[in-house]
């Protein structure tokens, strides 16, 4: 059984909800990632911020990223998976919620992230095709 902890990439880092989007963009550049989990004051997951969120939800709307916080961009119920979850649970969570990045939690702490590239590296072609269809097919109607 392959687990979330085995396919995730380690070194994921929170962005506190009070941090501004310009700082989030700098951190994304430093870490070479396109998304950061957002944490509340108790280091609990309260959302995920993507580079697209910054561009479309802030800059393109005419807002100043130095004045908008990560917490203001957090929408909906954050999704995550336990590090011990099997690959089927990972695929069900990501496909069922049409998400492309999934924080991995162990003992209530962020330990990694699973992204599309992690899945491509660890799944069979059939598994990957099924996952892509579940995530992208429905979103084409948006």
Q: Where are the domains of the chain?
A: 4-139
Examine the pLDDT at 131 and tell me if it is beyond 60: yes
Q: For residue range 18-51, list pLDDT tens digits in order.
A: 999 999 999 999 999 999 999 998 888 999 999 9
119-131: average pLDDT: 89
Query: What element of type H or E holds 109?
Result: strand 109-115
Of 139, 94, 88, the closest CA to residue 113 belongs to: 94
Domain 4-139 classification at class level:
alpha beta
């Amino acid at each position: 059984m392959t687990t979330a902890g085995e396919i995730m990439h380690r070194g994921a880092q929170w962005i506190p909800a009070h941090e501004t989007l310009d700082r989030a963009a700098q951190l994304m550049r430093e870490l070479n990632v396109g998304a950061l989990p957002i944490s509340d004051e108790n280091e609990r997951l309260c959302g995920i911020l993507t580079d697209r969120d910054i561009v479309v939800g802030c800059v393109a709307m005419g807002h100043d990223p130095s004045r908008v916080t990560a917490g203001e961009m957090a929408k909906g119920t954050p999704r995550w998976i336990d590090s011990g979850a099997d690959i089927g649970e990972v695929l069900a969570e990501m496909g069922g919620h049409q998400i492309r990045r999934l924080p991995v939690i162990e003992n209530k702490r962020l330990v990694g992230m699973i992204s599309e590239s992690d899945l491509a590296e660890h799944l069979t072609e059939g598994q990957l095709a099924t996952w892509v269809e579940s995530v992208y097919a429905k979103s084409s109607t948006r």
